[in-house]
Amino acid sequence: MKDSITKEKLFNHPIETVWNAISKGEEISAWFIKADFKPIVGYQYTFISKPNEKGCTTISGEVKKSDPYTLIYTWIVADTKVETIVKWELESIEEGTKLHLEHSGISKYEGETAIAMFESFNDGWEGCISLLTDYLKEEIDAG
């Protein structure tokens, strides 16, 4: 049975540029989620989505590995106590950089928690993401 999601994506950018984008707090905040993040093993990070009237989801966890170009952290949504693992791996290729992303442990979400969280995600999370997307668009348009 599948317990993880894996993604691969190519970027036409040098490995260092992509590494900074996924590991530096200010850059993560620019494209992903507002982040208090440092690529230091043991660092307790927090991702906070932009607030809306419902309040937004917080993601927290600990950096487990930060060794260019592999970044691993635990991923705990709000107060679910369900710990999943997110792993980013970068590989330098001719065209630029290949990203391999793996989010594992997803089957740990179960029962009532899963249903409740899923619904709150649908209400709150997508709102936060779209707010973030709007924010990014404004940034780009302004720039």
**Site residues, another protein (CB under 8 A):** 1-3, 5, 7, 9, 11-13, 17-18, 21-22, 27, 30-32, 82, 99, 101, 103, 106-111, 113-115, 118, 121, 125, 129, 132-133, 136, 140, 143
Among residues 20 and 38, whose Cβ is nearest to another protein? 20
**CB of 7: closest distance to another protein in angstroms?**
5
- In angstroms, the CA 21 to CA 71 distance is 12
Buried residues in 66-90 as b, exposed as e (16+ CB within 10 A): beebebbbbbbbbebebebbbbbeb
Among residues 3 and 42, whose Cβ is nearest to another protein? 3
- In angstroms, the CA 101 to CA 94 distance is 19
Among residues 2 and 42, whose Cβ is nearest to another protein? 2
**CB of 50: closest distance to another protein in angstroms?**
14
**CB of 78: closest distance to another protein in angstroms?**
14
Among residues 42 and 129, whose Cβ is nearest to another protein? 129
